[in-house]
Amino acid sequence: MPARPVRMKDEVVTALRDTVGVGMGYLPLGAAFGILLVTSGLDWWWAPVFSLIIYAGSMEFLAISLVTGGVGLAQVAMTTFFVNFRHVFYGLSFPLRAVRSTAGRIYGVHALTDEAYALLATRPHSEMTGPRVLATQVLCHLYWVAGSTTGALLGAGIGLDVEGLGFALTALFVVLTIDAYRAAPDTATLLVALACAVLATVLVPGAMLVAALTGFVLVLVGRLTLRRTRRA
């Protein structure tokens, strides 16, 4: 934890500055989700309910078809597992230990999204404080809820076309990846990640994300073990 005194206002301002880019991606993508939800036959108020309780972008989009299609709980659980399996790996390096309260940690686990991870896990952990971690996650959550609710309220009446809005999330990931690489350039790790993704896509396209992340973690563990052996 940082040695300097922690001022809540300063941490919130820092989190607000850090999350502006995420908000610019979350608002239109959340709106697209809200519009899709309403046009699928659900009432608008389901948008904030999904966004508050599920809060997992890709899984929320899938949840619309799962709910409206009457899918069984077993299939829902299996789908959720494979879609959100990457969060198991996120937890290995996410600075959740900076949060001291039990309630804060529970929310931190719930609000661990791809974007929150990219914003917080790539920064020096010595800079992380509990207020900054939670403020970052709360702001990201608010962006998403605001976008989805606005989209749901306006979608049915205006009849907006959501095609193409989903690319906002892809563009956001690209920007976050570039920022993370600039903050800590590591070409070898980047190439390993790309290689794992390509191999997983070719070998197991149906479980690409699970296979790619598993392979990537195994490579990192092997590289770390080799470095420690050489130092010893």
Q: In the prediction, which pLDDT does 135 show?
A: 94
d(CA 210, CA 193) in angstroms, rounded, equals: 13
DSSP state of 101: S
- Structural domain boundaries of the chain? 8-185, 186-232
Name the DSSP class of 84: S
Element (H or E) spanning 41, and its range? none
Q: How far is residue 130's CA from residue 210's CA, in Å, rounded to a whole number?
A: 30
The model carries a pTM of 0.71
Which segments within 10-154 are labelled E, that is strand?
none
Question: What pLDDT, on the 0 to 100 scale, is given for residue 154?
Answer: 84
* Whole-number pLDDT of residue 107: 95
Look at residue 16 in the predicted model and tell me its pLDDT.
Answer: 93
CA dihedral 116, 163, 85, 212 (to 10 degrees): -100
25: nearest Cα among 176, 179, 183, 181: 176
Query: So what's the pLDDT on residue 1?
Result: 47
Cβ neighbours around 15 below 10 Å, total: 21
Q: Are 135 and 19 in contact (CB under 8 A)?
A: no
The C-alpha atoms of residue 99 and residue 124 are separated, in whole angstroms, by: 15
Per-residue pLDDT of the chain (232 residues; tens, 9 = 90+): 444 566 788 898 999 999 998 888 888 888 888 888 888 888 899 999 999 999 987 788 878 878 887 777 877 787 787 777 778 878 888 999 899 999 999 999 999 988 898 889 878 878 889 999 999 999 999 999 999 999 898 876 665 555 665 565 566 667 767 766 776 678 888 888 889 889 989 998 877 777 887 888 888 888 888 888 888 7
Position of tokens 């205006």?
158
What is the model's pLDDT at position 109?
A: 92
